[in-house]
Amino acid sequence: MNIHGIGNWRVGIWSLVLIAACGAELADGQTSPAQEARPETVTFADAAASVNGVKIHYTQGGSGPAVVLLHGYAQTSHMWGPLMPELAKNHRVIVPDLRGAGRSEKAQGGYDKATMAADIHELVRSLGIDRASVVGHDIGLMVAYAYAAQFPGETERVVLMDAFLPGIGRWNDVWLLRDKWHFNFYGDTPLALVKGRERTYLEHFWNDFAADPGRSVSEEDRKLYAAAYAQEGAMRCGFEYFHNFEKDAADFAEFGKTKLRMPILVLTGEKASGEFLIDQARLVATDVRGEVVKGAGHWLIDESPGVVIPAIVSFVNEPADGAAVVRRVRSELLAELPGQRLTAMTVSYGPGGKSGPHRHAGSVFAYVLSGAIRSENSATGPARVYRAGESFFEPAASEHLVSENASDTDPASLLAVFIAPEGSVLTTSHDDNNAVEKEAGTAASLVDALNQLFGPQTTGRAVHTKGVVLEGRFTPDPAARALSRAPHFQAPVAVTVRFSNFAGVKSVADTDALANPRGVAVKFQLPDGTQTDLVMHSFNGFPAATAEEFRRFLIALATSGPGAAKPTPAETYLAAHPVAKAFLDSQTPAPLSYATLPYFGVNSYKFTNSAGQERIGRYRIEPDAGEQFMPAEQLAGAPADYLAREIRERVANAPVRLRLRVQLAQRGDAIQDPSVAWPEGREFVELGMIELRTAVPKSDEAEQRLLFRPGSLPTGIEAADPMIELRDGAYLESFARRHRASTAPGQNQNP
């Protein structure tokens, strides 16, 4: 290994860092990128992981940004054999057998596609991967869509290959086709009929769904798949994929209310799905390209590899607008270096891609995984090119003047390992005076940070765990109709409202400082049966400008408990982030009632009316009863749950009225920075009145069912702040975690 500019002692550290960052997460027998950066023939290795209550077998190989390949029915992960080595030239490729298939566990249940997507998500996370592209064929495409819909902030790109999406558009036109009888072929009698005749049954799929059975699945592969589905319990599991379509349809219809924004490629066979799947994808996503493969049937990889494989590889290899794509792969505090954190990231460049001049907070070791990187650092001499397998070192506070792909035709990637003080901003760009860590935060990492701060999540929410649910009606003001064509701004609709305390701890007292800020979430029941949500809190602002900065804020708090060395990570962070300090120091006193507090929207939205006129604004709720706070002498003797008691008594005597308004932005206002409150002199538009009339009798049960999503938006309202997508994903992630916990024996609500 060629180490440029560091001594022998650093070689030893660098070797350990590479093993920790690249090898520790790999299963026994796998090849680490540190051992083999870009071999002529990529080595793939098998492993298994217990995730989401099921054992999943998978194969992986290669290095770089992650790609997950999901097979369909009548096949296993083996189907991806022709594609895997091509993708692995520039990617880390993970190829699982789905729950119930191949060498994965034949679980009794969990064959709805949302649960199967959660299997794959937990597998990906267990491998230290925060973000991945997902490719799915047949049943696998349904799992791929459920993955992207539930974890949008962790999904880079999606490829959907020939089948359909239950619950989207005219899906019944496919589900009820007479020649698709197998969709309803399940149960004891079908299992008895197929037992011992698995090959005969599967031939129906391989032959009848191909454009030409002679160009369909090969004889060798047919034998392998028939043996796989002849395993004990395998055919029952396969039938369950179809048995769960109605549940999938309900789930997908809900997912489809929030359009996906990542790039999506749809590949279909001319003699199979044709334009149908492409049209469905355009109903649920904003960036869709579709290709109908001429002369092909359903088995695209087998029938048209010369068209399909290059299309997938080209799509997955595309850089994001030519910029470097940065993904965190490992982060941990170093026991031997108190107050220091090791953070490992992969940096991927498209052809000709580059990063602007910057400096780092700590020391950086860089190892080129693929291609060639041109680098120049102020402390290590003139620019030079480092190729796959070579590495270099950047001292703390040095200027990184050049960092770019040395090739205009091939992609390149490197592993960067930082050792820097906990809570510090790793990279400061020279393009502006703002410190920006060049790392994409993820929804799961946000929830991880909340769990780190408040304790492991069981069946309660990750934050704002303690709450109370009420029901009522929203009546729009005429001014709302002029602002947006959103359905609930046109006519009265029913609402469900949840008030809450901040902490992710069920037992937090209403009188505790951790209960601030208070929260309110509003679910509007729209005329077409869909829903849209607001999620707000009682502080005008937010402790961080970005989701990633908020994650670091939470971790700094979580690692600053009793016994933490001085200055603690929280003290260091707050000294460098006055906005976060103001958030902690400037909370309002405890309220007299949830109904006597104002609530502020965290993020900005774009409102469009029927004439196409657009305005940017932030929501505001103001109590009709006025702002009222609990006197200090009364607060000392107040019950721990006085707010829930008070709101129930209040609404039993008279409706609780809350004015919904929107504050409009003017030129120069921070649209994408929720930490900056807009001046109070800005124009407000009256949206209408929320009138709450009843408290839900079994509030805890209602809370468990409720999911509020700030990204669940109707026509006429769009996200204007990128944080909304990550917040939306975090709410989905928290919902998934608490519902998985609720099915585990012996689990109780968060203490």
pLDDT tens per residue, range 185-209: 778 898 889 999 999 999 999 999 9
Q: Provide DSSP, 615-636.
A: EEEEEEEEETT---B--HHHHT
Of the ranges 72-81, 168-177, 399-408, 615-624, which one carries the lowest mean pLDDT score? 168-177
* Whether residue 60 has pLDDT greater than 60: yes
Question: Would you give the distance in Å from CA 624 to the centre of its chain?
Answer: 37
In the predicted model, what is the mean pLDDT of residues 731-749? Answer: 63
> How is residue 16 annotated by DSSP?
H
Q: What is the pLDDT of residue 326?
A: 66
3-state secondary structure of 414: strand
Query: For tokens 């509007």, what's the residue?
Result: 524
Question: Which 3 state secondary structure label does DSSP give 21?
Answer: helix
What was the pLDDT predicted at 742?
A: 54
Q: Are strands 132-137 and 66-70 parallel, antiparallel or unpaired?
A: parallel
Q: Are strands 493-500 and 372-377 parallel, antiparallel or unpaired?
A: unpaired
More confident residue, 485 or 40: 485
* Single pTM value for the model: 0.49
Share of the chain above pLDDT 70, in %: 87
Query: Dihedral through CA 305, CA 307, CA 310, CA 316, nearest 10?
Result: -100
Residue 416 has pLDDT above 50, yes or no: yes
Nearest to 725 by CA among 352, 404, 468, 441: 441
Residue 393: what are its φ and ψ, rounded to 5°?
-125, 140
Res. 402 pLDDT band, cuts 50 70 90 = confident
List CB contacts of 363: < 8 A, sequence separation 6 or more.
Answer: 393, 394, 395, 396, 418, 419, 420
Mean pLDDT of the chain: 85
